[in-house]
Homo-oligomer: A and B are copies of this chain.
Amino acid sequence: MVTIYDIAAKANVSAMTVSRVINNTGRISEKTRTKVKRVMEELNYVPNQMARSLVLQQTNLLFLLITDITNPFYTTLARGAEDAARKHGFRLLFGNSDEDLDKENEYLDTILKTRTDGVLVAPTGDASLPHLEMLRKHGVPFVLIDREVPGVESDIVLGDGKEGARQLVGHLAERGHRRIALINGSPHVSSARQRLEGFREALKLNDLAYSENNVLETSFGPRNDLSEVGAWLDRIDPDTTAIIAGNNFLAVEVMRSLAARGRKAPDDMSIVCFDELASYAEVDPFVTVISQQAYQFGYLGMQMLIDRIKEGEAAGPWKKIVLPSELIVRRSVKTLG
């Protein structure tokens, strides 16, 4: 491996001079600068970030931890985060926790060990509390995205899940649906709780009955075994005419389970959900959704993170950004009566 000492020797200067050339610090004569630069090129020198970080106590590396890299909501978010990080000269690394607390833990371990400068994280759920406390304790700035964690104070970017649920219920009610079911993420995830709460409030608002039986709380992540979803479909109230899915994947799974039963949306069951089904504007898109500004989640979150890093942790109160979502009406809802 080529080091600054190799460069120094060949250029007849000290290592310190080489270091100065690399970092553009101090005063260096133009002559030695060009000489050093030439030698660096000749020897294909690449600075060793490990050594650099060790002495500087900072890595210039930021980390984005998402819960599902195959979900278009998060990948679009990732694009936003990446753009913001690049704009400020930070390098961005990604990790995928897969809605799995253990994997999240592994990545947190990596983050701590590699002394990442900051983290943008969508926590797997309330159980992420100790992980976030760990970050806080070790002085690693972080910003939460998409999900709150009770007991954690921090900058955060959220969607308005309650309002989204209200819009969905309102839309279904308008179309004549009186019995609506909800399949949702885990109650240990704040976004799922928000959506459930909005759902219940909206039912009341529209004079619709809430039925425990019509709510399934499962996981936001994709699953191979659809039997849980199927069994739930078999036991929901028979007069149910519409289902709200807590996210895009759940909607897909409901539709697959329906298909396995020879039923189809919207004729046999109306369906709506949170989040777009594909990152890319779908052709002939079918499902009526509450679309969130995924890119903005990432971009604004990263912005806040970098601000926090630059200002120092203690600068100002925690900021909370709530991004509105938008109802996009498509063809998955049948108009009744």
A296 within 8 A of B: no
Bound-state Cα–Cα, A1 to B57, Å? 10
A256 within 8 A of B: yes
Q: Is the CB of A138 within 8 A of B75?
A: no
A137 within 8 A of B: yes
The stretch that binds B, out of A11-19, A87-95, A173-181, A194-202, is: A87-95
A271's nearest neighbour on chain B, judged by CB, is: B283
A49 within 8 A of B: yes
A170 within 8 A of B: no
The stretch that binds B, out of A107-115, A153-161, A236-244, A322-330, is: A107-115
Q: Is the CB of A279 within 8 A of B70?
A: yes
Could you say which interface size class chain A belongs to?
35 or more
Q: Is the CB of A79 within 8 A of B93?
A: no
**How many chain copies does the complex carry?**
2
Bound-state Cα–Cα, A255 to B278, Å? 15
Bound-state Cα–Cα, A259 to B69, Å? 30
Choose from B44, B95, B138 the contact partner of A138 (Cβ within 8 Å): B44
Bound-state Cα–Cα, A175 to B93, Å? 47
Q: Is the CB of B54 within 8 A of A48?
A: yes
Q: Is the CB of B75 within 8 A of A70?
A: yes
A78 within 8 A of B: yes
Q: Is the CB of A93 within 8 A of B96?
A: no
A127 within 8 A of B: no
A230 within 8 A of B: no
Chain B residues with Cβ below 8 Å from A109 are 46
Known: A113-B49, A114-B49. A280 touches B252 (CB 8 A): yes
Choose from B46, B255, B280 the contact partner of A249 (Cβ within 8 Å): B280
A280's nearest neighbour on chain B, judged by CB, is: B252
A96's nearest neighbour on chain B, judged by CB, is: B82
Chain B nearest CB, measured from A230 CB (Å): 15
A64's nearest neighbour on chain B, judged by CB, is: B94
A72 within 8 A of B: yes
A76 within 8 A of B: yes
Cβ < 8 Å to B, chain A residues 98-122? 103, 106-107, 109-110, 112-115
Known: A137-B44, A278-B277, A286-B284. A70 touches B59 (CB 8 A): no
A314 within 8 A of B: no
18 cross-chain CB contacts under 8 A: A44-B137, A44-B138, A46-B109, A47-B113, A48-B113, A50-B114, A69-B94, A71-B279, A75-B75, A78-B96, A82-B96, A93-B95, A94-B94, A94-B95, A251-B283, A255-B284, A256-B281, A283-B286
A1-B57, A70-B76, A91-B106 known; 12 other A-B pairs, CB under 8 Å? A46-B138, A49-B110, A50-B50, A50-B51, A50-B54, A50-B114, A50-B115, A52-B113, A75-B75, A252-B281, A255-B283, A283-B286
Closest 7 CB pairs of A and B: A94-B94, A49-B113, A255-B283, A70-B279, A93-B93, A46-B112, A50-B54
